[in-house]
Amino acid sequence: MFKVSRKSEYALIALQHMIRAPGDGLVSVSEVASAQRIPRDILAKVLQGLKRAGVLIAVKGVGGGYRLARPPEQIHFLDVVRPFEEQIAVVCCQDGQIGCDRDENDCTLRGPMQVLNAYVMRQFEGLTMDLFANADSRMLTCAPRLAAMASQPIVPPRRDPVPALLPEPEDNQPGLA
């Protein structure tokens, strides 16, 4: 099961801090580390990873630091966590990088898990960092779009029509109604 790693958590916290920063959102590693109680050396590596991923821009020199490369509503959750995660899938066979030890022809879960994984990934793709600007546990009430996503039932649409178990009754067949 996908679980956000510590580095992804630090990345999300740092972006949340930048979104709320006054002015142009330029912050130093030390500022974020101190304000959010994150080890500075780990945070520096995380911010470099986000820079390489195109999420952040680094500003060098005195008064330099990092800022968002684009507006928060254009930065997706997966843009932030993907650089730090080996697997972003419900089960390993759904991630193209990690293989499965079960024979593909004998696995009865592959199809249903593929549908579930596609649904979860669509939900992740819809999350943008503007939704993470609200820090408290009331995020769902503060972010109507996320609340709407969370309230959607997890019922993937059927791709193929379900075959009828019994033939449809014909009007001229006695005893079938």
Choice among 3-12, 96-105, 128-137 with the minimum mean pLDDT: 96-105
Q: Has residue 162 got a pLDDT over 90? A: no
Q: How confident is the model at residue 137, as a pLDDT?
A: 46
**Side chain identity at residue 40, one-letter code:** R
> pLDDT at position 145, please?
57
Q: Where are the alpha helices (DSSP H) in the chain?
A: 6-20, 29-36, 40-52, 77-81, 110-126, 139-142, 144-151
pLDDT tens-digit readout, 1-44: 567 889 999 999 999 999 988 888 899 999 999 999 999 999 99
Q: Which two tokens stand for residue 78?
A: 């997966």
The domains of the chain, with CATH numbers, are 6-151 (1.10.10.10)
User: Residue 62 CB: number of other CB atoms within 10 A?
Assistant: 4
pLDDT digits (tens, 9 = 90+) for 41-79: 999 999 999 999 999 999 998 888 999 999 999 999 889
More confident position, 14 or 123 = 14
The string of pLDDT tens digits covering residues 104-122 is 677 777 777 778 878 888 8
136 against 43, higher pLDDT: 43
Question: Which stretch of DSSP H or E encloses residue 65?
Answer: strand 65-68
Q: Which pLDDT does position 71 carry in this prediction?
A: 93
The tokens of 112 are what?
């249903």
